[in-house]
């Protein structure tokens, strides 16, 4: 469906809200009633899709009440984009400023203020892969951990480097994270010590949720990849740098990464992001044919990190944009499956730190 920037809603939405009528993301909300349901958001209002369905406001072929009341988005996503995009279109229609009084009344009964809703992990994540696709970040890490003159390893400009992470420790934003313990090698020491990480770090990333399963032994091409991506989330790859530095040779990240990762509760659909497609960075040397792609595959999404103290004050420490990624999502998914690895609905891939 086309995104109309001129579209307005009868629901009051702040001009700087991330949830205008053009967005309509999907998430799982625990309502005051105790029901855990598929929902969406406009402004500061969370909309219960089960109540919408019961009110006859979601006349979309293939949609069932069961998938809206399942506790995760997996079943809803698996219905396919024809159905999920149809649901977005139906929601937008009820929220438009020219909606009738009866529709507004029915929709008002489906809404709760965000302060009354506990947002939950949106998908049951089966597998998780973290990529390493920002050239600037890879260069910085190579400079810190290895030789500054050879910061990028020989393969980095030829393949979207990634590793399989731990799905069980991915939690929704707002979940308290306990400082990890492990082995570290203090500066100047010859033997490791055990204790809490002293270099706990964050990594600003974007994650994307797989919305369509593939077959074991078959690969997804860059031209097909968009059909397999349901939507995007914000992603924080918590990292214990001192644990990571001691353990990462020869097999890469392990305990320095798998203690926790955080994702936003709302999944913004790929369709909602269509107007923000842009060209990606020039890739030199030329990539192998299976990584070639056509069209605009990067997205102009402004991002920032703020650190908030206990007294509530905040300091912005990083500002960036998703458009800077050297390897785009379609290339990542094509590389992920080029050997025949299959993906399943609800799998999560992360971009790697966005410098």
Q: How far is CA 104 from CA 54, 60, 97, 187, 257, in A?
A: 15, 19, 9, 64, 47
Beta bridge partners of 175: none
Contacts with 79 (C-beta within 8 Å, 6 or more apart), sequence order:
62, 63, 67
Q: Cα angle at 166 between 355 and 263, to 5 degrees?
A: 50
Alpha carbon distance 120, 251 (integer Å): 33
SS3 category, 23:
coil
Beta bridge partners of 269: 231
Alpha carbon distance 130, 354 (integer Å): 12
Q: Cα angle at 249 between 243 and 254, to 5 degrees?
A: 50
Q: At what angle do helices 81-95 and 101-108 cross, to 10 degrees?
A: 110
* Phi–psi pair at 95, nearest 5 degrees: -100, -10
Alpha carbon distance 22, 41 (integer Å): 11
Instruction: Look at residues 127, 120, 277 and name the one whose alpha carbon lies nearest to residue 210.
Output: 127
Catalytic-role residue among 113, 137, 164, 335: 137
Largest CA distance in the chain: 74
Helix (H) or strand (E) holding 140: helix 135-145
Alpha carbon distance 297, 279 (integer Å): 7
Whether residue 19 contacts residue 42, with contact meaning beta carbons closer than 8 Å, is answered with: yes
| Whether 181 is catalytic | no
Secondary structure letter of residue 195 according to DSSP: E
Catalytic positions are 137
């Amino acid at each position: 469906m086309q995104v109309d920037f001129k579209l307005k809603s009868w629901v009051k939405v702040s001009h700087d809200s991330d949830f205008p009528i053009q967005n309509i993301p999907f998430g799982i909300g625990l309502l005051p009633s105790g029901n855990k349901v598929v929902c969406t958001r406009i402004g500061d209002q969370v909309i219960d899709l089960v109540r919408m369905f019961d009110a006859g406001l979601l006349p979309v072929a293939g949609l069932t009440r069961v998938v809206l009341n399942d506790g995760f988005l997996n079943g809803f996503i698996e219905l396919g984009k024809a159905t999920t995009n149809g649901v977005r279109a139906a929601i937008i229609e009820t929220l438009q400023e020219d909606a009738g009084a009866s529709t507004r009344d029915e929709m008002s009964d489906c809404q709760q203020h965000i302060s009354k809703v506990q947002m939950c992990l949106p998908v049951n994540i089966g597998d998780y892969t973290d990529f390493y696709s920002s050239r600037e970040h890879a260069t910085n890490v190579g400079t810190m951990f290895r030789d500054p003159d050879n910061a990028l390893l020989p393969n980095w400009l030829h393949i979207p480097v990634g590793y399989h992470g731990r799905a069980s420790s991915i939690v929704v934003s707002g979940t308290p994270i306990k400082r990890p313990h492990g082995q570290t090698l203090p500066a100047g020491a010859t033997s490791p010590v055990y204790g809490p990480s002293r270099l706990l770090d964050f990594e600003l990333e974007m994650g994307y949720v797989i919305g369509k399963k593939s077959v074991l032994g078959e690969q997804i091409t860059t031209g097909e990849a968009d059909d397999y991506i349901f939507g995007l989330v914000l992603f924080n790859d918590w990292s214990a740098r001192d644990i990571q530095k001691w353990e990462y040779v020869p097999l890469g990240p392990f305990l320095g990464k798998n203690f926790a990762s955080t994702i936003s509760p709302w999944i913004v659909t790929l369709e909602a992001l269509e107007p923000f497609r842009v060209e990606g960075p020039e890739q030199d040397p030329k990539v192998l044919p299976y990584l070639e792609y056509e069209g605009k595959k990067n997205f102009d999404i402004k991002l920032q990190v703020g650190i908030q103290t206990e007294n509530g004050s905040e300091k912005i420490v990083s500002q960036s944009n998703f458009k800077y990624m050297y390897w785009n999502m379609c290339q990542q998914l094509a590389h992920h499956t080029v050997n025949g690895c299959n993906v399943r609905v609800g799998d999560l891939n992360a971009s790697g730190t966005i410098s």
